[in-house]
Structure 1
Amino acid sequence: NTTICAGYCMTRDINGKLFLPKYALSQDVCTYRDFIYRT
């Protein structure tokens, strides 16, 4: 799930915080901060 999670984080980061609603609820554990640390 880490790879998929990173993908979602990366996508919403590029698009902005407008896609946080469903993605945040579905992948609440995955945040752009975690993505940076995991990378």
Structure 2
Amino acid sequence: MEALIIAAGCGERLKPFTLTEPKPLMPILGSRIIEIIIASI
């Protein structure tokens, strides 16, 4: 299987949370956003 995960952008609407780490690395309920996306593929 091949997949393309688009994880670009500055996360302007999530500032100040995105000042220290990019949006895909932000934790939600104990998992990072990118981990949740990868697990759903």
Q: Specify which structure has the higher proportion of helix.
A: 1
Superposed pair shares fold, TM > 0.5: no
Normalising to structure 2: TM-score of the pair?
Answer: 0.26
